[in-house]
């Protein structure tokens, strides 16, 4: 009986598991193989350690090995020596090819040029050097909506509802949207071995400053990591006026309400409840506040008075300048790769920390374009998704305290609702 074992597209040098090779080895161990015929020994092995295992198995089983270049009896000393020499030469050829490939990739990266195969990047044409304008418009929309406070799950749903597909024709997932927005490529930056090493030769789709804010936002450890979208506009914002516990949503008598719940999983007193129509009251207050001169003055005053924010921006700018200087020194071969990486590490760590601090301070950016335009936003509000609505509400409100009400009341007394504004 003749059997054929073929492992297509799996390199003998990579060290990856070759299913068919493993099956053949097991068949030899079981005594099912009298002889092995191979095109050339370097098709069978390019790693000496695998050759030694193969030779041991064949010797114990009494299996003959032949190639189309003549018999090779690895059961003898001379035959095994020849096989070892051939395996060593094959391994060296593979290693040399790998070194040349790495050098070429490094050279292309330093010049800001693309490398590698595979599918093109979303937002770029197949040559990887020019922008696909339609897809670029999608990326800009995703970036602006993310920076406005919209969650990734909401952005992913928008892509699916809009029937926008990935470059391979698949539906978007939260992880793929996140990876797209984190990619330095869309900001015109060249990445090599997961490190940004300089400007790319292709144009940017979004400004580098926006990319930095996105990275700070999406890599913030305090960011929610579950994929569940917010269920209601005021989720997590309401506090019980009796005990201070967070109120949760639930249904009683087929009506949705916010309630303070007791028990070990909630820790509240169970003594406060209010109809979910409180959302309408709070949203009205938010839209009204956007049009008040007090809000514009508060944001302006906070921005001007916060000298530490200015110092933080200056520190971030100085760190960027230092990283740029390091990249130029490396490109000019004034420092080695090891020196470059060692110098980058503390700067990048400091930069990441400061960018996260800056992202936390930038809550008012969610309100950009809405301050003084509450009336216009009121008209848009019903068409906005919950993620964007919640982001605007949370940019203005610290929390809402719900005081005890009158039993049997059929409407909400506005006096029960105390809003603590964050700005």
Q: 50 pLDDT exceeds 50?
A: yes
Better-predicted residue by pLDDT, 142 or 383: 142
Q: Which distant-in-sequence residues (6+ apart) come within 8 Å of 410 by Cβ?
A: none
Is the predicted pLDDT of residue 123 greater than 90, yes or no?
yes
Q: How confident is the model at residue 46 (pLDDT cuts 50, 70, 90)?
A: low
Contact 234, 278 (CB under 8 A): yes
The gap between the terminal CA atoms of the chain, to the nearest Å, is: 82
Q: Environment class of residue 301 by beta-carbon count within 10 Å: exposed (0-12), middle (13-18) or buried (19+)?
A: exposed
* pLDDT computed for residue 99 by the predictor: 75
- How far apart CA 368 and CA 213 sit, in angstroms, is 15
Helices in 219-306 by DSSP H: which ranges? 278-290, 293-305
Rounded mean pLDDT of 19-27?
Answer: 86
pTM: 0.48
3-class secondary structure for 308-319?
A: HHHHHHHHHHHH
Question: 227 forms bridges with which residues in the sheet?
Answer: none
Please give the mean pLDDT across all residues of the chain.
Answer: 80
- At residue 322, the pLDDT reads 85
Residues, the chain, total? Answer: 423
Closest CA to 205 of 140, 159, 138, 144: 140
Q: What is the mean pLDDT of residues 317-331?
A: 81
Top-confidence residue, 401 or 351: 401
Most confident of 107-111, 124-128, 226-230, 385-389: 124-128
Supply the pLDDT for residue 240. 94
Strand 70-72 and strand 189-192: the pairing is unpaired
CA-based max dimension of the chain: 100
pLDDT in tens, 237-284: 999 999 999 998 887 777 888 999 886 567 789 889 999 999 999 999
- In this prediction, what percent of the chain has a pLDDT beyond 70? 80
What order of strands is seen across the sheet that includes strand 238-240? Answer: 238-240, 397-402, 417-421
Counting residues of the chain whose pLDDT is more than 90, the rounded percentage is 20
């Amino acid at each position: 009986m003749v059997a054929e074992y073929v492992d297509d597209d799996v390199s003998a040098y990579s060290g990856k598991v070759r299913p068919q090779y493993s099956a053949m080895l097991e068949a030899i161990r079981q005594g099912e193989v009298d002889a092995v015929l191979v095109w050339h020994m370097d098709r069978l092995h390019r790693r000496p350690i695998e050759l030694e295992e193969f030779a041991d198995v064949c010797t114990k089983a009494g299996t003959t090995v032949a190639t189309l270049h003549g018999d090779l009896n690895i059961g003898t000393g001379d035959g095994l020596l020849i096989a070892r020499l051939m395996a060593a030469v094959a391994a060296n050829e593979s290693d040399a090819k790998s070194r040349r490939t790495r050098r070429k990739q490094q050279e292309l990266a330093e010049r800001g040029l693309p490398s590698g195969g595979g599918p093109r990047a979303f937002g770029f044409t197949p040559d990887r050097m020019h922008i696909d304008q339609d897809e670029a418009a999608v990326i800009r929309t995703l970036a602006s909506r993310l920076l406005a406070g919209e969650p990734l799950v909401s952005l992913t749903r928008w892509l699916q509802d809009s029937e926008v597909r990935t470059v391979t024709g698949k539906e978007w997932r939260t992880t793929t949207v996140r990876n797209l927005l984190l990619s330095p490529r869309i900001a015109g930056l060249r990445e090599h071995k997961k490190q940004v090493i300089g400007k790319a030769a292709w144009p940017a789709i979004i400004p580098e400053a926006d990319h930095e804010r996105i990275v700070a936002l999406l890599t913030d450890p305090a960011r929610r990591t579950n994929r569940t979208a917010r269920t209601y506009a005021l989720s997590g914002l309401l506090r019980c006026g009796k005990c201070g516990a967070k109120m949760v949503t639930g249904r009683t008598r087929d009506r949705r309400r916010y309630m303070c719940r007791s028990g070990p999983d909630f820790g509240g007193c169970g003594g406060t409840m209010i109809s979910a129509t409180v959302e309408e009251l709070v949203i009205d207050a938010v839209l009204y506040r956007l049009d008040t001169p007090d809000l514009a003055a508060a944001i302006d005053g906070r921005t001007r008075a916060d000298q530490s924010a200015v110092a933080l921006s200056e520190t971030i700018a100085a760190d960027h300048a230092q990283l740029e200087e390091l990249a130029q020194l490396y490109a000019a071969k004034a420092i080695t790769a090891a020196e470059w990486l060692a110098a980058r590490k503390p700067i990048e760590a400091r930069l990441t920390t400061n960018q996260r601090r800056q992202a936390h301070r930038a809550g008012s950016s969610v309100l950009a374009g809405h301050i003084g335009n509450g009336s216009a936003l009121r008209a848009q509000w019903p068409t906005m998704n919950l993620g964007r609505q919640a982001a605007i509400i949370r940019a203005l409100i610290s929390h809402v305290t719900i005081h005890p009400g009158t039993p049997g009341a059929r409407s909400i007394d506005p006096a029960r609702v105390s809003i603590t504004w964050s700005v």
